[in-house]
Chain A
Amino acid sequence: MSTATAELPREVRQRRKAGLPPWLNPAPLWLRGIKAAVIVAIVVTMLYPLVYVIAMSFASPQQARAGVVFPTEYSLDAYRAIFNGGTVVTGLQNSLWVTVVGTFLSLTASAMLAWGLSRTKDVPGSKFILIMVLATMFFSAGIIPNFLLVKSLGLLDSLWSLIIPGLVSAFNMIVIRNFFMNLPTELIEAARIDGAGEWRIFLRIVLPLSKPVLAVMGLFYAVGYWNTYFNALLYINDAEKWPIQVVLQQYVLAGVSIPGATVSPDQPPPPGITLQMAVIVLATVPILLVYPFLQRYFTKGVLTGAIKG
């Protein structure tokens, strides 16, 4: 157990080059072995279903209809069928817009409210509001009142109906608030003594210090908006404005049997499992790509850098 000091062995220099702090020592070999084994096991079990989904999305129609555990013959039929439709592109555009605009607005509104409610002792009435917000996590309104509200606000058939009614999630807001409250107090304190206003403190100190939690909440919101399905079905009748999830689900539903509906020869055959899987791949992959970009905010060291900056 050496506390890295003067001699600076090669190992330490290498680690410094890799951006790791000099005092971080590698674990003993046996421990690293166990860790590696556990990690590999976790990765394999978690990766398998996705591999399965992707493989099935490329399965040949014959194999898919007959039912196989894992396909051995492949085709592009499912993807071809989906992109033939033409509404997929519109759907992607709609979803992209809702996700980008929605995430930005939600994050802004949530962070503002979180900061506003972060000093319940000082700000009269803010504790009451906090509790009222908290209560919305446990009491919800039904579908019908929500629908009537959206309708009376004239938001039906507008993409805004997918953003505004769910603008702030009480859960996300409270988590952000929790992080705000655990920020190092010295800087904020100092700024206040310097006469900085709340907005200035919020924009210049609080937000830069909170990049990790804002990244997480941004991801939560973005995933939520990207996966918008039920509300879109309720509030949007114009198929041109459907987000991608709704459009894609239609392929899965094609030919779904309706009680009492008769089978007519020219009705499309029910969707193969390949189509379902292709839909999952197309609906999921874009949002999966967001995460790696956010990961850098979780890396240690951001914090000190931010304070200096």
Chain B
Amino acid sequence: MTVKTTAVPEQRGAGRASGAAPKRRKATLRQRIWRERWMYTFIAPGALFFLVFAYVPMLGNVVAFMDYSPFRGFSGSPWVGMQNFVAIFNDPEVVTALRNTLVIAFLQLIFAFPAPIALALLLDSLMSNRVKRMVQTVVYLPHFLSWVIIISVWQQVLGGGGLVANLLSGWGMGGFDAMTNADTFKLLVVAQAIWKDVGWGTIIFFAAIAGIPQDRYEAAAVDGASAWRRIWHVTLPGIIPVTTLLLILNLGNILTVGFEQLLLQQPMVGADAAQVLDTFVYFRGVLGGEWGVATAAGLLKGAIGTVLVLSANKIAKKLGGEGIY
């Protein structure tokens, strides 16, 4: 909150407690806590929730340093030090997986991240509210279909025996198959991701646009700003806070790219192109019953994500933005 609220006595109780010194002097910690005591009633339930349902089970992550087996349990499984982490780094496949993950994540950031913003702006510029709502509803449908279906549909259109291939071979250009081409696979993955979630992604931006006070548009229009300029000077600044926020949070999850989507398509294009960290951990740790290895991989991902978020947040603040906290 950018508002200076420190001096405002908000409750009779607060007034009495700080009543002796209604000055702008820096309050002691205890005074500050007492003054904001009502805020803690907002915080307490949520904080308790995260303590019990996030942090208590997170203690289970100690198995990253164990040769864990469920029946033997936490107390019965032997400690193995850093062995699980060593196992991950010693696996030759981890390099491929990491490389693919980063390339896909990078492409997602460039193409998939801005896509919903562009679509939201396009839809927002529509005049008719009815059309706007209808289109909104349609574009968010693919989000609800599973990857199995989506890949099947793409196969029917862009696969080797699909619509486009048949069309092209009718014109004498045989051999089109976008679904099994390992070289372009990463672009395909991003295209599929955009197609599936672009509409879903617009929702949050719609909310942001709806939150922009109407009078700003009016003022701009009265000043003679064209539709383009109104987007540039009113809409975009209005959605920058949420955009920054989503960008930073996305960075934190950069090592998590479409597990199911890639797992399903790996047989078609090969592991060299489609192995990512999550599929690697799945084959290496989960299916092999190696809880320790799978957990260690999760911890590594979390650590990297946290570092990225912290740095991005710092940069955002340096650039004059708000950051997350």
Contacts and interface: CB of A to CB of B under 8 A. Distances in A.
A212 B195 CA distance: 24
Contact of B139 (A43, A123, A139, A184): A43
Interface stretch (A84-92, A127-135, A261-269): A127-135
The 7 closest A-B pairs by CB, nearest first: A145-B60, A113-B46, A116-B42, A141-B57, A23-B221, A116-B43, A145-B57
Given A48-B153, A188-B3, 18 more contacts: A24-B127, A45-B195, A46-B139, A52-B153, A109-B46, A109-B49, A113-B43, A117-B43, A123-B36, A124-B29, A134-B325, A142-B295, A145-B56, A179-B211, A193-B8, A197-B38, A284-B145, A297-B210
A136 B245 contact: no
Interface residues of B, number: 102
B58 A139 contact: yes
A138 B301 contact: yes
B75 interface: no
Contacts of B63: 142
Contact of A27 (B119, B204, B211, B227): B227
B57 A146 contact: yes
A257 interface: no
B214 A116 contact: no
B204, B206, B302, B325: most-surrounded residue (chain A CB, <10 A): B325
Contacts of B298: 139-140, 142
B140 A131 contact: no
Interface string B215-228: 10110011010110
A302 B129 CA distance: 14
Interface string B1-33: 111011011110000000000000000010011
B134 to A, nearest CB: 8
A237 interface: no
Interface in A41-70: 42-43, 45-50, 52-53, 69
Contact of A212 (B210, B253, B302): B210
Given A124-B29, A145-B59, A197 B11 contact: yes
Interface string B187-207: 000000001000100011011
B221 A126 contact: no
B139 A112 contact: no
B261 interface: no
A212 B55 CA distance: 31
Contact of A198 (B10, B212, B221): B10
B103 interface: no
Nearest to A193: B8
8 contacts: A50-B142, A126-B39, A139-B61, A178-B322, A195-B10, A198-B10, A198-B39, A212-B206
Contacts, number: 296
A127 B63 CA distance: 30
Interface of A: 1, 3, 18-21, 23-27, 35, 38-39, 42-43, 45-50, 52-53, 69, 109-110, 112-113, 115-127, 129-142, 144-146, 148-149, 164-168, 170-171, 173-175, 178-179, 181-185, 188-189, 192-193, 195-199, 202, 210, 212-213, 215-216, 219, 223, 280, 284, 287-288, 291-292, 295, 297-304
B41 to A, nearest CB: 8
Interface of B: 1-3, 5-6, 8-11, 29, 32-33, 36, 38-47, 49-50, 52-61, 63, 70, 119, 122-123, 125-127, 129, 131, 133, 135-142, 144-146, 149-150, 153, 156, 195, 199, 203-204, 206-215, 217-218, 221-222, 224, 226-227, 241-242, 245-246, 249, 252-253, 291, 294-295, 298-299, 301-302, 305-306, 309, 322, 324-325
A115 B46 CA distance: 11
Nearest to A39: B135
A25 B127 CA distance: 9
Given A49-B145, A185-B2, A178 B54 contact: no
A31 to B, nearest CB: 9
Contacts of B57: 141-142, 145-146, 148-149
A284 B207 CA distance: 23
Contacts of A168: 46, 49-50
B142 A46 contact: yes
A303 B211 contact: yes
A295 B127 CA distance: 16
Given A142-B63, A179-B211, A43 B42 contact: no
B324 A174 contact: yes
B213 A184 contact: yes
B1 A138 contact: no
Contacts of A197: 10-11, 38
Nearest to B156: A69
Contact of B53 (A1, A38, A165): A165
B145 A133 contact: no
Contacts of B140: 291
Nearest to B43: A116
Question: Which of B32, B46, B309: most chain A Cβ within 10 A?
Answer: B46
Nearest to B47: A129
Nearest to A213: B207
Given A118-B1, A197-B38, A212 B211 contact: yes
A201 B203 CA distance: 27
A127 B325 contact: yes
A192 B54 contact: no
